[in-house]
Amino acid sequence: MTEKPILVTGVAGFIGRAFADRLLGQGIAVVGVDSLENPLLPELSEARLGTLRNRPGFTFEKVDLADRAASDELFRTHRPDVIVHLAARAGVRASMEQPHAYTRANVEGFLNVLEAARNGDARHLIYASSSSVYGARSEAPFSETDAVDHPVSLYAATKRANELMAHSYSHLYGIPTTGLRFFTVYGPYGRPDMAVYMFTKAVFEGTPITLYEGGSLLRDFTYVDDIVEGMARLIPHAPVGEDAEDARPDRAAAPYRLFNIGNQDAVRVRDLVFYIEEAAGKKAVIRSLPMPLSDVPMTCATTEELSALTGFEPSTPLKEGVARFVQWYRGFYGV
């Protein structure tokens, strides 16, 4: 796949940890980068990193990528040829409360990564986008060729900005960039602000779960192992650019591509709660509220482009993935 270590940013994050674990398990060296500034649950970041420390082939660098000098030094030292950029402030609602922090991490931080790729040896930059860029669409499934010009949260706007920034650097400097639109990822060591984690915690603690619109919102829940498998398969497929007449929103004459990674199955959030109840052996306490303006009624991916290139399609059923998460939660928290 690559002789040099792969540089993974956000390695103490949910997907970053799982992806680094996947690479190390294949015998691929990893330089993991993280600021360790988790505003939600710092001890979870340390726990994630603890699963990687002392593993053969793993090197950790504590760096804030929005710090230009520190970022430049990081990339001068390691000069990676494959960069997987997952570091970001995540979450729709928190971006409304901390807009400057989100812009600094997600836009300035990504700019520094692009500059490092331009000035270094990068032959493939893979970066995290989000299904949030699709906005408040009601028609499914979502395709990479759909218009994404109306984000309904600042978080979504920063991720769409990343896609546009990547295209400009691919066009100007020939940097192969692949953007990944993740769809509601869940699994062990997941984010505490995501529904699967929050609902599981609430069920075990007997506290109320808030369901918007009675749990009728639809989400394309994607198990983390499916996400990292798709990412790993994309590493050797650096885009080379399309003929001008074949240019589309998700690909271009520049070496630039976008892919959805989702489970291709929109499930009612109320059904998610049922699976958690079943796995936990406890009933949830539920209250219903109207959907916030920053939220969307549905997410649902088509992954035909990913499958055509790599032969892989995410496939973990929600019931199975939730059972695995609840088992991890029991062990991690001793409940």
213 belongs to a structural domain = no
Q: Which of 102, 127, 155, 169 is catalytic?
A: 155
The total number of structural domains in the chain stands at: 1
Q: What is the mean pLDDT of residues 198-203?
A: 97
Question: Which pLDDT does position 84 carry in this prediction?
Answer: 98
Per the structure block, which two tokens stand in for 332? 């991690």
Task: Please state the pTM of the whole predicted model.
Answer: 0.93
Question: Which pLDDT does position 283 carry in this prediction?
Answer: 96
Q: What is the pLDDT of residues 112-133, one digit of tens each?
A: 999 999 999 899 999 999 999 9
The Cα–Cα gap between 68 and 208 comes to 43
What is the helix (H) or strand (E) element at residue 31, kind and residue range?
Answer: strand 30-34
pLDDT band of residue 181 (cuts 50, 70, 90) is very high
16 belongs to a structural domain = yes
Closest CA to 316 of 263, 260, 261: 263
CATH of the domain at 128: 3.40.50.720
pLDDT band of residue 289 (cuts 50, 70, 90) is confident
Domain span holding position 61 = 6-188+221-263+300-311
Q: What is the pLDDT of residues 32-88, one digit of tens each?
A: 999 998 766 788 999 999 999 999 999 999 999 999 999 999 999 999 999 999 999
**Which of the pair, 107 or 94, is modelled with greater confidence?**
107
Per-chain mean pLDDT for the chain: 92
Q: What is the mean pLDDT of residues 177-196?
A: 94
| Angle at alpha carbon of residue 238, lines to 237 and 244, rounded to 5° | 110
Question: Which pLDDT does position 129 carry in this prediction?
Answer: 97
Question: Which pLDDT does position 243 carry in this prediction?
Answer: 64
321 belongs to a structural domain = no
319 belongs to a structural domain = no
The Cα–Cα gap between 184 and 94 comes to 16
Question: Which pLDDT does position 25 carry in this prediction?
Answer: 96
Question: Which pLDDT does position 244 carry in this prediction?
Answer: 59
pLDDT > 90? residue 323: yes
Q: What is the pLDDT of residues 232-278, one digit of tens each?
A: 999 999 999 876 556 677 888 899 999 999 887 788 999 999 999 99
329 belongs to a structural domain = no
Closest CA to 300 of 271, 269, 266, 267: 266
DSSP secondary structure string for all residues of 258-299: EEEE--S--EEHHHHHHHHHHHHTSPPEEEEEPPPTTS-SB-
183 belongs to a structural domain = yes
pLDDT above 90 as % of the chain: 75
Residue 9: C-alpha distances to residues 32, 75, 94, 133, 272 (Å): 6, 11, 21, 21, 30
Catalytic residue at 155?
yes
